Chains A and B, each alone.
Chain A
Amino acid sequence: GENVEQHPSTLSVQEGDSAVIKCTYSDSASNYFPWYKQELGKGPQLIIDIRSNVGEKKDQRIAVTLNKTAKHFSLHITETQPEDSAVYFCAAKETSGSRLTFGEGTQLTVNP
């Protein structure tokens, strides 16, 4: 099955700096890669996703890049704000079936 690795497990940045979280996946046939943000005591919320026919996608301060050859994708957050502090999860979807496999999460802390 699919295996997703996520790095780093913790990330601390100063307000206004950029943050980058990276994930690798094992199944070259995976075609859908979402990113979720989870605030304390709540369920994860989708913040951005990308499909394998696209190399980059942006939504205001958030962007995701995908390198199919290397089988890795990254989340970029620019001009970070304290409210960006949360746990972020990447995921990859198997081509067959409807299962998402998640990375282990990154605790992002944005210091004022």
Chain B
Amino acid sequence: DGGITQSPKYLFRKEGQNVTLSCEQNLNHDAMYWYRQDPGQGLRLIYYSQIVNDFQKGDIAEGYSVSREKKESFPLTVTSAQKNPTAFYLCASRTGGGSPLHFGNGTRLTVT
């Protein structure tokens, strides 16, 4: 079955450590996205990539980094510079243009 796989589902880290969240898709989609979800704040765009080896900052990119070396993979690194990293992180993809956005099932990151 085609889909978007985010791993792990739950992730725990100590403050000051960088952590990388995995996102893999086998839908052959060109564009991939990372969103952060906090209670009562909807989905906020962190980074997105419309093509391999290219990506753009979203609305809340500070403290995060991404890479897009392969079409099917778009990992997100939460760095120690992110002031409040505890959140639910969602990866999404689509073919491009006006096509629907497909989401993975998220990674819940807790930093203590």
Contacts and interface: CB of A to CB of B under 8 A. Distances in A.
A6 B43 CA distance: 13
A: contact size bracket: 20 to 34
A1 B105 CA distance: 27
B48 interface: yes
A102 interface: yes
Given A43-B105, A44-B103, A98 B48 contact: yes
Contacts of B41: 104
Contacts of A100: 45, 101
Interface stretch (B60-68, B73-81, B92-100): B92-100
Given A98-B31, A99-B45, A104 B100 contact: no
Interface of B: 4, 6, 31, 35, 40-45, 48, 50, 58-59, 90, 92, 94, 96-98, 100-106
